Amino acid sequence: MIEVVPFTVGPVQENSYLARAQGGDRAVLFDPGEEADRLLAGIDELGVRLDAILLTHTHFDHVGAVAPVARATGAPVYCPALERDVMLDIDRYVPWPGIGPFENHEPEELVGGGERVSLAGLDFDVVFTPGHSPGHVTWALADGSALFSGDVLFQGSIGRTDLPFGDHQTLLRSIAGLLDAYPDEARVFPGHMGVTTLGAERASNPFLQDLVA
């Protein structure tokens, strides 16, 4: 059983998630986008040791607090391999003026999809889900009960593809892969908006109707 504590942070209202096995003393942190002090306070309040920082992708609103959180906790950063270069020069990839500056960080671990990663008493499958960004991955709990989907799938919506390197058809193929691979009851923890399930999105998400027809 997984226990998830959400934090909605920064001006873009990005969701970062602190996850642990039920009652465990170790945790992982997904997509620390902003407000490092708040995230660190949440880790302390939960009374856990941070085993890793897990990134779905490297858009600035998902990685802005990576470096300070990694430095404070000593936790290694798992990053999509295709997006490593962004972490080495985050500000260069910010598409709008007046945002940042952000502190760069060299990821300790690179993933590309197909890996199984065991951390904090939890087993995750790394699923390659490009389209919103070229190296985007979804972190799926190995029992299929939870998906940390970043900006692939939202409650009632899908990730935007008008940013550099986005591709709408690739994104739809990635979502179709998740719908095929995981049960309707799988909880979806998205990078923005509320928690949902695959079944709810299959039934009512207007962007998915062509996929499920």
pLDDT in the model for residue 213: 64
pLDDT in the model for residue 210: 83
Could you tell me if 72 and 36 are in contact, meaning their C-beta atoms sit under 8 angstroms apart? yes
What is the SS3 assignment for 135?
Answer: coil
Number of residues that this document lists for the chain: 213
* Token code pair at residue 203: 């039934």
pLDDT in the model for residue 164: 84
At 54, give phi and psi (nearest 5°). Answer: -110, 125
Structural domains of the chain sorted by starting position, each given as residue range(s) with its CATH number in brackets: 2-212 (3.60.15.10)
**What are the CA-CA distances from residue 149 to residues 88, 136, 171, 207 (Å)?**
23, 9, 12, 16
pLDDT in the model for residue 64: 97
**β-pair partners for 208:** none
Q: Mean pLDDT, consecutive 10-residue segments, the chain of 213 residues? A: 96 96 97 98 97 98 98 98 98 90 97 98 98 98 98 97 92 97 98 98 94 72
- N-to-C CA span, the chain: 33
Q: CA 198, CA 188: separation in Å to the nearest integer?
A: 7
Q: Residue 101: is the preceding peptide bond cis (ω within 30°)?
A: yes
